[in-house]
Structure 1
Amino acid sequence: MRAFDELRKLEIFFKEETSRGCSIVELYELVQHAGNILPRLYLLCTVGSVYIKSKEAPAKDVLKDLVEMCRGIQHPLRGLFLRSYLSQVSRDKLPDIGSEYEGDADTVMDAVEFVLQNFTEMNKLWVRMQHQVGKNLHVLSQIEGVDLEMYKEIVLPRVLEQVVNCKDELAQYYLMDCIIQVFPDEYHLQTLETLLNACPQLQSSVDVKTVLARLMERLSNYAASGAEVIEAQDNMPIAGVVTLYASLLTFTLQVHPDRLDYVDQILGACVKKLSGREKLDDSKATKQIVALLSAPLDKYKDIDTALKLSNYPRVMEYLNDETKKEMANVIIQNIMNNKTCISTAEKVDALFELIKGLIRDLDEDLRDEVLDEDFKEEQNSVARLIQMLQSDDPEEMLKIIHTVRKHILTGGPKRLPYTVPPLIFSSLKLVRRLEDRDESVSGDEASTTPKKIFQIVTQTIEALSSIPVPELALGLYLQCAEAANNCDLEPVAYEFFTQAYILYEEEITDSKTQVTSIHLIIGTLQRMHVFGVENRDALTHKATGLVLSQYVISQCSFRVLLCLKRALRIANAVQQMANATRGRSGSVVLLIEILNKYLYFYEKGVSQITVESIQSLIELIRSEMQGDNASSDPAADAFLASTLRYIQFQKDKGGAVGEKYKLIMVGVATNPEKGAKKHHSTAHPLVSTYTT
């Protein structure tokens, strides 16, 4: 320091000499002839300072010359002192914004290049002599022209490159700390990703945790300095804002994992910044919100902890529907991977609010997801989740069942077939637990009884009737009947069987499904021991009737088809005779009669009567009625209109029969345009096929 003070006096002397007429150019060349290199370079730096002030040469040329000449000293201690002096003597002569040395030839970039080059050379010396390299970084931070963009694109990458390449643990630790301490907080906020990416590249022995803790402390103090700090940056892109909070949350989880209040505070600050915005469509911002919400799950590996964060669901509200599904999948997978058990109704309610993107329709215009494999996998995940909801307390478990039921019934017809069965089986599992419960807490005194659970189960299965999936509902009724049998609840078991029979008779029309359903009914009935003689006889008699009915239908189906084919053959003969007499009304009425027989047996589940054959018959009838030589017949018109109204009625009524009639109505107009005469053909494909 004393030597630098003396050199400062020498600099003043040189300046006075130039004012008396001494040429600064000659003086700059003269000092380069000094005998020893170390004094020569100190003199050169001193005269170079005066040279820049004289403005007889561009500042960048002199600075470049000086920083290059100083390479002549490679002794670490002497080289560091020399370059430290160069940094000091040149700091007020850099071509910064507003500086007197800024001009057409000299720019801020020249100043940055000079300081970075001096820093690079000092860093090389620092590897051998770790001392005072950070002074260059301090100088860099004070250059007015180094704005955020330049810092982000040029300064920080170059500095980090040197830090990583030096391979010295002490130097890396010192320099990372220097970067954190000397540059502004807002620069760190905008370059967190770059800074963090450098950390894994440091030597394994570097105390990165302490470095990050200091960075966290700076950012925390910056955020705590006033609520307006972040809000004031109106021009910051929303993706940048969310990235900031995601990075800040990651730091907090690493440094203060036990402080959930810090985590919740950061989430709350993010909500405040996002308030007033619609759901995010920015893909980068959305990705960062997913990262923000995933961080606590990855850290604690426990959704129970995340449910304690009051601002967690508030952040999720800013995701679009598709990303809510993605986040819900992340939450469910976390629960599955960590085998987390959610044991209270309150937590279950909070959890299902978080994953509502998977359990209810959030958008009326969603694509048809029934055949979507991703949709099926999502719903299977929800089904597996329901099995994870358990409480040792029966009363609390019943509350959980109520809560789950409340949420899944909002799911609509596509989701209920996936979510209702696991809820039913969870309920029956609770019934089995109650069977083993101490008799002293059973009966009317208990707040949770099998009867109450069976009431809930019945109401839940009834929700499937609107979809409809009768075969699924029938199977669930039989499962419940068997559970009621084990509880010795004869009336309850009988009611479940009654509901199964009603479903079979009114909703199940497909012959194959009927056979499977009868097997299920008989198999379950065989295992029942709770029924008295009267109830068992009634149920057995009913099952026997169903078996006989199914047998008759299966045996008669072939004969039915033969009869219908013969009827069409006769109708075709009548048609030929009508052609000869120029009248067709009788043959058309006969065809409509045959159509009604087709519909009857189709409705009864005769598999040989197909949708295509019915549609072809309707087409044939219309062709006959609109042919060139057809005469008007009000009776035939009314008969056909009545038949088509019946088809439409069955379609609108819904249920399994309605679904069958929907297929018939595809491509069949109930009110065909009149007057559009069609060319009559006696060789219609339907008749041709059946008369062959």
Structure 2
Amino acid sequence: MELNFKYVLDMRAFDELRRLEIFFKDESRHGVSIVDLYELVQHAGNILPRLYLLCTVGSVYIKSKEAPAKDALKDLVEMCRGVQNPIRGLFLRSYLAQVSIDKSPSLGSEYEGGEDTVMDTVEFVLQNFTEMNKLWVRMQHQGPVRIREKLEKERNELRDLVGKNLHVLSQIEGVNLELYRDTVLPRVLEQIVNCEDERAQYYLMDCIIQVFPDEYHLQTLETLLGAFPQLQPTVDIKTVLSRLMERLSNYAASSLDVLPEFLQVEAFAKLSSAIGKVIKAQVDMPIVGAVTLYVSLLTFTLHVHPERLDYVDQVLGACVKLLFGKPKLEEGRATKQIVALLSSPFEKYNDIVTALTLSNYPCIMDCLDDKTNKVMAMVIIQSIMKNNTCISTADKVEVLFELLKGLIKDLDGTAVDELDEEDFNEEQNSVARLIHMLYNDDSEEMLKIICTARKHIMAGGPTRLPFTVPPLTFSALRLVRKLQAHDGNVVGGGEEPTTPKKIFQLLNEIIEALSSVPSPELALRLYLQCAESANDCDLEPVAYDFFTKAFILYEEEVADSKAQVTAIHLITGALQRMNVFGVENRDTLTHKATGVIALAYPVITVSFPCRFLPKPSLSPYLLSLPLSVFCKAFEET
């Protein structure tokens, strides 16, 4: 409240002094010497009113052009040193800047020429900025400790008075890149570093980034970045440096014509080096701060050099070095930044395959705790599904499943029963959908893909296999149908060509894992699917073997009465559609089906309206069997 009052008072005083300035101008027009007036006001009794009067008359003095502007500006900025009270001094110098800057020499202004140059104005503003920053920094040492918090609040509210000088510098006509590089930036950075004040360094570095043009930042990048490691260890460098990279990224995105400039100045190399030096200099910087810097660097890289995957991998590698040897990151801001880091390539390229080529990507995934690892794995799967990305080689499948290992197997002994059932089901359904995105038109490569996926999902444990085995089975059956379309049913000229028989052998092993889970009903369905596919391939022994395994599962594992009825429907329906069997095998299977029906008679008769005729709703497949089968079944019971 007190500071707001000071601001209001300052504004009123400024308005009154403006009227006084107009009065002095009128007096000079009526023959009063402005030089005499300038000398006269210096005899005022109190120093603060004296200096306000001096600044007011000084602005008229400059405008009169009776003396070089640079001499008047230099005299005014030096005289203001007489007020050393921080708050009073800041307001005084702020007033000096306001009344003088529009009358200072600049390119194309009426005050340029003769002895006055743009450099004189720059020198005046820089000197005024230096003195104001000293006053502002000194505020932290004023007053007793009990009101330190109040003083810090006041100090924070007065920062714009100091930062306004930098804004003025950026607006001076004639401050070109050369003048900025050789004079303005070095002088400002020197003052920022030397003041050794956390608040001032943070605010003023941010001001530099915000007020000067992006082109200037790019061309003076090495000088600007060189100041960051020299700042106080407590300065929030990550925020300032991130804003710098964000501005440069936007500048690069604004026009393709500026991209050669980034390559010419080697912006990526300089930013990467600066981040390393800052992290090394600030030994107490938390992990989240360092990771945030690399997230910003990666964002910059993806905007400016999207084609340079080596740069992207280099950023990820720097993060790996940062996290190496430290405990796995737990949930919190650091893990959120890591997720943002790992998600950036997906958002840029819309292609998970690109990320799979980055050697350091899996290393960062390993640094995450199990829960965050799963979150990131779900992000990867969602990206694949959203962009309809096909994973087309076994090597890429290997890398992908290593990234997704948090979803496809238990990590660090985490029991599945400790997980939320709904979340677990959603995760495994996502993995199941992903399996359908593994495809290659080349049959040999597709078989390699299936074998690679099988190796990983078989390690998933009994609760995951019922989700992942079916899509893998149908993916293999799709390959069988493709091979069936080829003459000779053989593809590939290697030592072990890809054949349907070879795939059925693999399927036998895959489905067998389900029967031991146990999930017999699902395994029985998959055996019958494979039998029908073998029937289409005219592989009688293979089809017969699958049927045999289905019968064994029914007899030994299916105990629930409703499940038995469903299984009978499936077995008899599949048997009806088979045409590959010879007389002997068909009779054997029909006899086996008869035995199944006979054993299930107590269950089936519930559905019969009478002893001899089955209820039509029981199963159209049962009704399609010869009547002798039912008669024989009833005789045996």
> Do they fold alike, i.e. is TM over 0.5?
yes
Q: Distance in 2 between matches of 1:203 and 1:231?
A: 29
Pick closer, same or farther for the CA change 1:420–1:147 going to 2, 3 Å. farther
Q: Distance in 1 between matches of 2:82 and 2:411?
A: 73
Q: Distance in 2 between matches of 1:222 and 1:458?
A: 56
For 2:189, the aligned partner's letter is S
Pick closer, same or farther for the CA change 1:75–1:422 going to 2, 3 Å. same
* 1:551 counterpart residue number: 601
Please point out which of 328, 346, 351 is paired with 1:302: 351
* 1:504 counterpart residue number: 554
Q: Does 1:63 align with 2:89?
A: no
For 1:67, the aligned partner's letter is A
Aligned partners of 2:532 and 2:543 also within 8 Å? yes
* 2:575 counterpart residue number: 525
Please point out which of 282, 286, 290 is paired with 2:335: 286
Q: Distance in 2 between matches of 1:500 and 1:148?
A: 79
Pick closer, same or farther for the CA change 1:213–1:150 going to 2, 3 Å. farther
Aligned partners of 1:359 and 1:382 also within 8 Å? yes
Task: For residues 56-81 of structure 1, give each alpha carbon's deviation from its aligned partner in whole angstroms, at most 9, with x where no partner exists.
Answer: 88754653442243256399736895
Aligned partners of 2:55 and 2:76 also within 8 Å? no
For 1:355, the aligned partner's letter is L
CA offset at residue 101 of structure 1?
13
Q: Distance in 1 between matches of 2:264 and 2:198?
A: 20
Task: For residues 131-152 of structure 1, give each alpha carbon's deviation from its aligned partner in whole angstroms, at most 9, with x where no partner exists.
Answer: 9789666543221355584257
Q: Does 1:239 align with 2:269?
A: no
* 2:530 counterpart residue number: 480
CA offset at residue 250 of structure 1?
1.8
Pick closer, same or farther for the CA change 1:344–1:225 going to 2, 3 Å. same
CA offset at residue 154 of structure 1?
2.9
* 1:377 counterpart residue number: 426
Pick closer, same or farther for the CA change 1:376–1:85 going to 2, 3 Å. same
Aligned partners of 1:239 and 1:285 also within 8 Å? yes
Please point out which of 141, 145, 151 is paired with 2:189: 141
CA offset at residue 102 of structure 1?
11
* 1:343 counterpart residue number: 392
* 1:394 counterpart residue number: 443
Q: Distance in 2 between matches of 1:288 and 1:99?
A: 34
* 1:454 counterpart residue number: 504
Q: Distance in 2 between matches of 1:99 and 1:519?
A: 87
Q: Distance in 2 between matches of 1:160 and 1:226?
A: 16
Q: Distance in 2 between matches of 1:226 and 1:56?
A: 38
* 1:422 counterpart residue number: 471
CA offset at residue 434 of structure 1?
2.2
Task: For residues 170-200 of structure 1, give each alpha carbon's deviation from its aligned partner in whole angstroms, at most 9, with x where no partner exists.
Answer: x754566589576335376542444466689
Aligned partners of 1:94 and 1:111 also within 8 Å? no
Pick closer, same or farther for the CA change 1:201–1:502 going to 2, 3 Å. closer
Q: Does 1:45 align with 2:93?
A: no
* 2:103 counterpart residue number: 73
For 2:595, the aligned partner's letter is G
Q: Distance in 1 between matches of 2:495 and 2:255?
A: 66
Aligned partners of 1:369 and 1:375 also within 8 Å? no
Deviates more, 1:46-55 or 1:198-207: 198-207
Deviates more, 1:262-271 or 1:546-555: 546-555
Pick closer, same or farther for the CA change 1:104–1:78 going to 2, 3 Å. farther
State the SS of the aligned residue for 2:440. coil
Please point out which of 205, 213, 224 is paired with 1:183: 224
For 1:424, the aligned partner's letter is T
Deviates more, 1:177-186 or 1:275-284: 177-186
Task: For residues 499-535 of structure 1, give each alpha carbon's deviation from its aligned partner in whole angstroms, at most 9, with x where no partner exists.
Answer: 1111111111222111111111111001111111111
State the SS of the aligned residue for 1:531. coil
Unaligned runs of 5+ in 1: 1-16, 164-170, 559-692
* 1:631 counterpart residue number: none
Q: Distance in 2 between matches of 1:302 and 1:436?
A: 32
Aligned partners of 2:217 and 2:224 also within 8 Å? no
* 2:316 counterpart residue number: 267
CA offset at residue 312 of structure 1?
0.9
State the SS of the aligned residue for 2:285. coil
* 2:325 counterpart residue number: 276
Pick closer, same or farther for the CA change 1:496–1:104 going to 2, 3 Å. closer
Pick closer, same or farther for the CA change 1:117–1:224 going to 2, 3 Å. closer
CA offset at residue 420 of structure 1?
0.4
CA offset at residue 552 of structure 1?
2.9
Task: For residues 595-640 of structure 1, give each alpha carbon's deviation from its aligned partner in whole angstroms, at most 9, with x where no partner exists.
Answer: xxxxxxxxxxxxxxxxxxxxxxxxxxxxxxxxxxxxxxxxxxxxxx
Cα RMSD (Å) of the superposition?
A: 4.5
CA offset at residue 281 of structure 1?
1.2
Q: Distance in 2 between matches of 1:203 and 1:224?
A: 20
CA offset at residue 384 of structure 1?
1.7
For 2:73, the aligned partner's letter is C
Q: Distance in 1 between matches of 2:505 and 2:138?
A: 89
For 1:141, the aligned partner's letter is L
For 2:461, the aligned partner's letter is G
Deviates more, 1:192-201 or 1:289-298: 192-201
CA offset at residue 228 of structure 1?
6.3
Pick closer, same or farther for the CA change 1:33–1:541 going to 2, 3 Å. closer
Q: Does 1:84 align with 2:132?
A: no
Q: Distance in 1 between matches of 2:456 and 2:197?
A: 49
State the SS of the aligned residue for 2:373. helix
CA offset at residue 115 of structure 1?
4.2
Q: Distance in 1 between matches of 2:85 and 2:407?
A: 71
State the SS of the aligned residue for 1:47. helix
For 2:524, the aligned partner's letter is L
CA offset at residue 433 of structure 1?
2.2
Aligned partners of 1:122 and 1:133 also within 8 Å? no
Q: Distance in 2 between matches of 1:57 and 1:486?
A: 96
Deviates more, 1:350-359 or 1:546-555: 546-555
State the SS of the aligned residue for 2:460. coil
Aligned partners of 1:119 and 1:136 also within 8 Å? no
State the SS of the aligned residue for 1:235. coil
Q: Distance in 2 between matches of 1:63 and 1:302?
A: 57
For 1:264, the aligned partner's letter is D
Q: Distance in 2 between matches of 1:132 and 1:373?
A: 64
Q: Distance in 2 between matches of 1:456 and 1:515?
A: 29
Q: Distance in 2 between matches of 1:282 and 1:216?
A: 38
Q: Distance in 2 between matches of 1:150 and 1:347?
A: 49
Q: Distance in 2 between matches of 1:365 and 1:439?
A: 48
Q: Distance in 1 between matches of 2:301 and 2:44?
A: 63
CA offset at residue 451 of structure 1?
2.2
Task: For residues 205-236 of structure 1, give each alpha carbon's deviation from its aligned partner in whole angstroms, at most 9, with x where no partner exists.
Answer: 68896599489944522544897664453211
Give percent identity, aligned residues only.
46
Pick closer, same or farther for the CA change 1:147–1:499 going to 2, 3 Å. farther
Aligned partners of 2:70 and 2:121 also within 8 Å? no
Q: Distance in 1 between matches of 2:482 and 2:459?
A: 28
Aligned partners of 1:173 and 1:206 also within 8 Å? no
State the SS of the aligned residue for 2:600. helix
CA offset at residue 302 of structure 1?
2.2
Q: Distance in 2 between matches of 1:172 and 1:206?
A: 15
Q: Does 1:537 align with 2:537?
A: no
Q: Distance in 1 between matches of 2:565 and 2:111?
A: 95
Normalising by structure 2, report the TM-score.
Answer: 0.71
Q: Distance in 1 between matches of 2:127 and 2:351?
A: 58
Aligned partners of 1:480 and 1:496 also within 8 Å? yes
Q: Distance in 2 between matches of 1:111 and 1:79?
A: 31
Q: Distance in 2 between matches of 1:101 and 1:365?
A: 56
